[in-house]
Amino acid sequence: MAKSIDYVLFDWDGCLARTMHLLLRALKTELGKQDLRLTDKQVIRYMFGNWLGGLRYWGVADAEETVVKIKEEYDKKKGEVKLYAGVKETLRRLVKRGKRLGVIKLEGDGNEIRPLLGIESVQIFTGRDLAGEKPEAKVLERAVELLGGRKAETLWVGNSVNDLEMGRGAGVETVIFCPAENEKFGNSKILEAEGVRVIGEFRELLKIV
């Protein structure tokens, strides 16, 4: 990466934090209450990245209210959230290199992030700060603005097709973190995208920034 990167924005769920399995569990739990017994593959295929669309596909009458209940179920599992290997070490080294870091978590209050990271200088942006939804470019553009950077000096690190589309739409250099354990959640599709830079180990980011 030839240009100078001074700002790095990270997605939280499935990128810094190992939350994909918890999300899958929350989705299946709430769907089960509505007598929908779906397999992991069905939930991942039709609902990951598009909750409302998936719920409507399976005939859920009040999809919006069900999304609220899924979020509530997921929030019960916050205490089980752990970071991916190498995340804390990598972020600390980036801070030592003078990089300004931010984390995006559109769902929830994000109160669990700082205690897990243990890095006070990292800025946290939630849905209250960033109006919109993925993959809308304005979400990332606003985060860059709040971090105090410019798009040309910023790197966006995500883990999903939505993250890739948002980065490209905003014109921000994008790297996708896709460890082997995430491939079951549909992330292997990213590997087929043209021109995308993918890392399988979080520490690889230190070779880029």
Asked if residue 208 has pLDDT above 50, the reply is yes
**pLDDT above 70: residue 190:** no
Determine the average pLDDT of the residues in 103-111.
88
Cα–Cα distance for residue pair 58/30, rounded to 1 Å: 13
Percent of the chain whose pLDDT exceeds 90: 59
CA geometry: angle 113, 66, 46, nearest 5 deg: 85
pLDDT tens figures, 2-49: 468 999 999 999 999 999 889 899 999 999 998 999 999 898 888 887
The model's pLDDT over 115-169, given as tens digits with 9 standing for 90+, comes to 999 999 999 999 899 988 888 999 999 999 999 999 999 999 999 888 999 999 9
Asked whether the beta carbons of 176 and 197 are under 8 A apart, the reply is yes
Instruction: Provide the pLDDT for residue 194.
Output: 66
Q: Kindly report the pTM of this predicted structure.
A: 0.89
Distance between CA atoms of residues 203 and 9, nearest Å: 15
3-state secondary structure labels for all residues of 18-39: ECHHHHHHHHHHHHHHCCCCCC
Residues 8, 144: Cα–Cα separation, whole Å: 9
| Residues ≥6 apart with Cβ < 8 Å to 84 | 15, 16, 17, 18, 177, 179, 202
pLDDT number for residue 193: 64
